[in-house]
Amino acid sequence: MSGTATSKPVAWECRFAVYCPPPRGERDDYHLVKEIAHYPDGSAKPHIRLIRNFTFPFWVTKRAFRNHQEKKEWELLERLNRFESTRASQNMAIAKALEMPGVRDPHILRRSPYLYGADLLSTSVIRKTYMERFPAVNTPYSVAAFDVETDAVHGTGEIIMATLSYRDRIITAICKSFLANQGVGEGVDIEQALRGKLDYYIGDVCSKRGVRWEVVLADSAADIVLACFRKAHEWKPDFVAIWNINFDMPKMIECLEHAGLDPKDVFSDPAVPGAWRHFRYKVGSSRKVTASGKVSPIPPHAQWHTVFCPSSFYFIDAMCVYWHLRSQKGKDPSYALDAILRKTFGERIRKLRFEAASHLAGISWHQFMQQHHPLEYVIYNVFDCVSMELLDEENKDLQLTLPGFAGWTDFCNFNSQPRRLVDRLHYFCLEEKDRVIGTTSDSMRTELDAHVVSPSGWIVTLPAHLVADNGLCLIEEAPTLRTSIRAHSADLDALSSYPTGEETFNISKETTSRELCRIEGVSEHTRRMQGINLSGGATNAVEVACGLFGLPSLDQWLDAFARTKGLKFVIPAYSLVTRRDTADVDCSNDDSEDDEDPGDDFEREDGAE
């Protein structure tokens, strides 16, 4: 007999927590916590816990130390008073602690320079509490895969089938009208026919996984969704992964609302009281705006969509997770599931293809398969989910990497590296330095910020047609023909220097007594460039001296030395500078024209912190 039936858990592991705000007329709030209960015999079982009126702390400066107008990065614990409140009553508690009665606007409250530690979410505090109490348990997350297929023949876009797969269990719900419209069902045992197709196309994969496949024939699109998520509530996976969730989720919401069903009652865990159930699908930003106002699109794979709903599973876009975990490695040609499968497994595992439709692609392929091979199309839908599971079992993105990188940060903020860093810094300051980190607001700039070098305009993209034609002359038969090969090249990724640069130089408000506003005779553009060069002083000493102190360049020194000594240097033909190269070169020290409007040369990506 399993230990789950005879003994109590020896440890609890928190997968995630979801905040349930109080409904109108209520003051109590709840947090749903997805737990894994660990038993003495080594077994584990998913569990749902509802915590009522969970309180967590914030800090306010003591009266005697309220002598500053600007926000500090952190403050000593001995100078702060600690308060606790529920998330629902936090604004009221902060206003009372700051002696600002009647103020309920969180934006106004967070502008106070005397408020500390109020940025950390209650869900993050809960996860951190579990980690501290049960540090020895850290098991992989369980992952279920979900996928819908929509009507491509009649152009309605309605859901015609959906599959949810979880380890050795699969459920596929199919709309009866889809099969009837394709002439399937008259005198045919549909389930038996489907199982024959499953064995034929992916029988080897299913047998290895010991798959138990349940087929449900549904009357409507809403019934398809209901059938799948009844099983999801029963199985309780940690993640329900969807590849490109921004296609599937709006379709599900639309069909449920059309049927008069509230998504919160479908996706919320049955254990959650009806009044505290909620559902919100937050679509990730599809564009970024630079400090100069330039708008550029964010591709679908780089967005971050979030579902806020108290359930035993967390909706996650597996495509977006794949990109965010590898964004530093460069962009892949495609983030379609088939492309990533082929990149990972080669031709061993990829999306199903059928000989009869091998000449088609895109929407035409889906139309043909739905119209002429509906049973095979069902198997295609099933394997989309199974292949997602196989992919995660191979790369461990959802099982290990995503939770490990997130730490105790709520998954809704995973795409924000600064947010994850600050969440870690909060407890580092609190536990290691006896300090509490400050609280951010919507107005972090001060009057003096206008006098220093602007934080915008540091990310530069040089168009290819502006690259100087100064390559080496290396072709023996054409000694003056320049190539694109250069003897010296360098790359500086200023964005990646944050926060490494600040950490290396120990830069903070606390360690800064004076900040340079301007240097007479030196443009802001030059100060920007030489400010970067100062990070490698020994290497960039000559350039710093020329830019900031007006020293002659090395070429000017060499020319002056030659004139003084009456020497003439013989320069090899391959390094001669042509007239075209020097037409726009000004060797004087006056760079005012170049730097008159540095904003034209620099762009900053929105969201840099």
Cα dihedral across residues 572, 575, 581, 586: positive or negative: negative
Q: How far apart are CA 266 and CA 270, in angstroms?
A: 9
Q: Cis peptide leading into 310, omega within 30 of 0?
A: no
The pairing of beta strand 159-166 with beta strand 74-76 = unpaired
Per-residue pLDDT tens digits for 471-525: 899 999 998 898 989 887 776 555 555 566 677 778 888 888 888 888 888 888 8
CA distances from 211 to 208, 322, 368 (A): 8, 26, 28
Query: Check: CATH 3.40.50.10600 for 143-398?
Result: no
For residue 568, pLDDT beyond 90 = no
Cα dihedral across residues 266, 268, 270, 272: positive or negative: negative
CA angle 253, 18, 42 (to 5 degrees): 115
Residue 347 tokens read as: 């031709």
Among residues 308, 141, 376, the alpha carbon closest in space to that of 241 is found at: 141
296 DSSP β-pair partners:
288
Res 184: pLDDT: 65
| DSSP string across 289-336 | E-TTS-EEEPPGGG---EEE--SSSEEEEHHHHHHHTTGGG---S--S
Q: How many CB atoms lie within 10 A of CB 256?
A: 21
| DSSP string across 188-232 | --HHHHHHHHHHHHHHHHHHHHT-EEEEEEESSHHHHHHHHHHHH
Q: How far apart are CA 76 and CA 65, in angstroms?
A: 11
Among residues 327, 329, 141, 173, the alpha carbon closest in space to that of 240 is found at: 141
Q: Quick one: what percent of the chain has pLDDT higher than 90?
A: 64
For residue 449, pLDDT beyond 90 = no
Per-residue pLDDT tens digits for 268-324: 999 999 999 999 999 999 998 876 677 889 999 999 999 999 999 999 999 999 999
Q: How far apart are CA 24 and CA 88, in angstroms?
A: 12
Mean pLDDT of 381-395: 97
Place of tokens 């692609």: 361
Res 143: pLDDT: 98
Among residues 56, 43, 180, 214, the alpha carbon closest in space to that of 122 is found at: 56
pLDDT category of residue 608 using cuts at 50, 70 and 90: very low
Place of tokens 């079992």: 393
Q: What is the 3-state secondary structure (H, E, C) of 255-267?
A: HHHHCCCCHHHHH
Check: CB of residue 340 under 8 Å from CB of residue 376.
no
CA distances from 143 to 265, 270, 338 (A): 22, 20, 19
First to last CA, the chain: 54
The pairing of beta strand 239-242 with beta strand 314-317 = parallel
Residue 171 tokens read as: 């459920």
Domain-by-domain residue ranges, the chain? 11-138+412-437, 143-398, 453-480+519-564
Per-residue pLDDT tens digits for 231-252: 999 999 999 999 999 999 999 9
Q: How far apart are CA 403 and CA 389, in angstroms?
A: 17
Residue 318 tokens read as: 């597996």
Look up the pTM and report it: 0.81
Among residues 237, 510, 282, 493, the alpha carbon closest in space to that of 389 is found at: 237
pLDDT category of residue 183 using cuts at 50, 70 and 90: low
Backbone φ and ψ for 348, nearest 5 degrees, come out as -65, -45
- DSSP one-letter code for 409: S
For residue 598, pLDDT beyond 50 = no
Res 6: pLDDT: 66
Check: CB of residue 81 under 8 Å from CB of residue 59.
yes
